[in-house]
Amino acid sequence: MARRKLYVGAAVLAVGLVVAVPWAEDLRFAYSSEEMEEFARTLEDGVEIRDADVGLLSFMFIREENGQVVFYRGRTWGQDGYGYIWSPDGRPAETRHLKGPWYGFRDDAHM
């Protein structure tokens, strides 16, 4: 009986983590996006910065590309890479709009 409770408890914890992790990412982005935008405005064309922390988020790299700034978070749990793009001039291809000039992506197109 104790073993069964342990398995049930582990299953509940696993489900909670699956639900909480994306939700936590969204909150960290919401609190960090203003600081990220300030950072994006300072980058010069073609500049790339590795292993940077901005706001509550860590990035493998941040790179300016033709007026857009890619904030690459990395890979998670066997999925493709993901991150954010600050694009004040419009929506980049293969992204989803988040808010204002912010777009999210989940692929290797921006590596």
Task: Tell whether 110 is covered by a domain.
Answer: no
Domain that residue 65 falls in: 2-105
Q: Residue 30 gets which letter from DSSP?
A: H
Task: Tell whether 48 is covered by a domain.
Answer: yes
User: Is the pLDDT score of 3 beyond 90?
Assistant: no
Task: Tell whether 80 is covered by a domain.
Answer: yes
Task: Tell whether 111 is covered by a domain.
Answer: no
User: Encoding tokens for residue 98?
Assistant: 């988040």
Number of domains comprising the chain: 1
Task: Tell whether 69 is covered by a domain.
Answer: yes
Q: How many other β-carbons are positioned within 10 Å of the β-carbon of residue 76?
A: 13
pLDDT digits (tens, 9 = 90+) for 31-90: 999 999 999 999 988 899 999 999 999 999 999 988 999 999 987 666 678 999 999 999
User: Is the pLDDT score of 4 beyond 70?
Assistant: no
What is the value of pTM for the model shown?
0.74
| Residue 23 three-state SS | helix
